[in-house]
């Protein structure tokens, strides 16, 4: 399969029935199934870009969007938004997710001792790494999450992802797509200026996002084709206090009730500095696991990034008062993968 090319922006699919509430107080916390289902139906983008679509909301990134984003580069400053890929990461083995294992297969010692078998004194070093694709800074691909056995664009999950990988929406299709205008919404700094950090379990609401945009000014306006970065400050806390339960434990994050905002803003993708993007524990008294993922990946077709390092970017944006920039965040074109490690860069 080859990389996909973004299709022209399609017309939104009109939701059936009343729009779900964007007030967390209105959630029926005893019935996650109903709350998830209402948002999945209301904000579903299936068919918007045709039956064969493999990009979802990445289709919102049109060529002119990248041209406009390139004009945001004024200083030439490049900020990496990636955590490290090493054994000092946050993973604890949940569902076989481990930190990267880096092994040298040739070293300087081998070169000094002349046991590499090369002529005329040349020597070298080589290495290999083994890691889950979602153990550090990464994108969730469209084949990562299903809703009642259905994948993005109304396909049966078993027809999309098999033991051979994601045969339809593999992450390789996005390899040349994820360059656009980036917008930082520093919700942690806006809501908790004394610390810059939201507490674990804090559910970021639509009102919080819009208030942050208003406070940050015109450069934080969010629209079609943007890649939105939400800084909660949890990574800063984890680095100061230790990883603890950063991987899979309590965390600030987006409320399920932001699904409507994610849909109507027509953003291309969104990423946070947390392990799971959405608030944890999730917002229900009944058993629930990552309900916002279940709505936005298979139904909206939204690409999600997690465990991004937004600390240096947050400081730079706060100092300059400018919150938009050129963002390049290409996944590795790993054929059939449902996610990918990345080193996203903001260019100011």
Determine what percent of the chain is predicted with pLDDT higher than 90. 94
pLDDT tens digit sequence for 120-160: 999 999 999 999 999 999 999 999 999 999 999 999 999 99
Query: Any residues with CB less than 8 A from the CB of 203 and at least 6 apart, and which?
Result: 24, 252, 253, 254, 255, 257, 279, 283
Q: What topology does CATH give the domain 24-92+133-347?
A: Glucose Oxidase; domain 1 (3.50.30)
| Cα–Cα distance measured from residue 220 to residue 317, given in angstroms and rounded to the nearest whole number | 10
Question: Would you give the end-to-end CA distance of the chain in angstroms?
Answer: 34
Question: What is the number of other CB atoms lying within 10 angstroms of the CB of residue 342?
Answer: 23
pLDDT at 103 over 50: yes
Cα of 96 vs its chain's centroid, Å:
20
Single pTM value for the model: 0.95
| Cα–Cα distance measured from residue 40 to residue 15, given in angstroms and rounded to the nearest whole number | 10
- Strands (DSSP E) contained in the chain are 78-80, 101-106, 126-130, 138-140, 150-151, 155-156, 161-162, 165-166, 179-185, 203-204, 227-230, 253-254, 269-272, 303-306, 324-328, 339-341, 345-347
Q: Where are the CATH 3.50.30.50 domain residues in the chain?
A: 24-92+133-347
232 within 8 A of 1, measured Cβ to Cβ: no
- The mean pLDDT value of the chain amounts to 96
The total number of residues written for the chain in this structure: 348
pLDDT at 15 over 90: no
């Amino acid at each position: 399969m080859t990389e996909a090319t973004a299709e022209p922006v399609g017309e939104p699919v009109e939701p059936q029935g009343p729009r779900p509430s964007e007030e967390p107080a209105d959630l029926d916390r005893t019935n996650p199934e109903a709350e998830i289902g209402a948002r999945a139906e209301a904000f579903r983008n299936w068919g918007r870009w045709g039956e064969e679509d493999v990009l979802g909301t990445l289709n919102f990134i049109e060529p002119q969007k990248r041209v406009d984003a390139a004009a945001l580069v004024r200083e030439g400053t490049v900020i990496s938004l990636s955590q490290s890929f090493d054994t000092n990461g946050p993973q604890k083995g949940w569902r076989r997710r481990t930190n990267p294992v880096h092994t040298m297969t040739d070293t300087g010692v081998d070169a000094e001792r002349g046991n590499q078998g090369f002529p005329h004194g040349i020597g070298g070093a080589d290495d290999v790494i083994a890691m889950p694709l979602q153990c550090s800074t990464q994108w969730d691909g469209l084949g990562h999450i299903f809703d009642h056995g259905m994948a993005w664009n109304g396909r049966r999950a078993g027809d999309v992802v098999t033991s051979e990988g994601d045969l339809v929406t593999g992450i390789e299709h996005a390899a040349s797509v994820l360059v656009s205008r980036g917008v930082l919404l520093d919700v942690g700094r806006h809501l908790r200026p004394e610390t810059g950090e939201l507490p674990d379990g804090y559910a970021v609401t639509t009102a919080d996002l819009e208030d942050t945009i208003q406070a940050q000014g015109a450069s934080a306006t969010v629209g079609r084709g943007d890649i939105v970065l939400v800084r909660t400050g949890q990574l800063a806390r984890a680095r100061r206090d230790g990883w603890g339960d950063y991987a899979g434990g309590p965390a600030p994050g987006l409320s399920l009730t932001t699904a409507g905002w994610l849909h109507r803003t027509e953003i291309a993708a969104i990423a946070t500095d947390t392990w799971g993007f959405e608030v944890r524990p999730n917002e229900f008294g009944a058993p629930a696991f990552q309900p916002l993922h279940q709505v936005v990946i298979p139904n909206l077709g939204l690409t999600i990034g997690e465990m991004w390092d937004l600390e240096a970017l947050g400081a730079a944006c706060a100092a300059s008062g400018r919150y938009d920039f050129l963002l390049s965040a290409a996944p590795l074109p790993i054929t059939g993968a449902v996610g990918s490690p990345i080193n996203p860069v903001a260019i100011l």
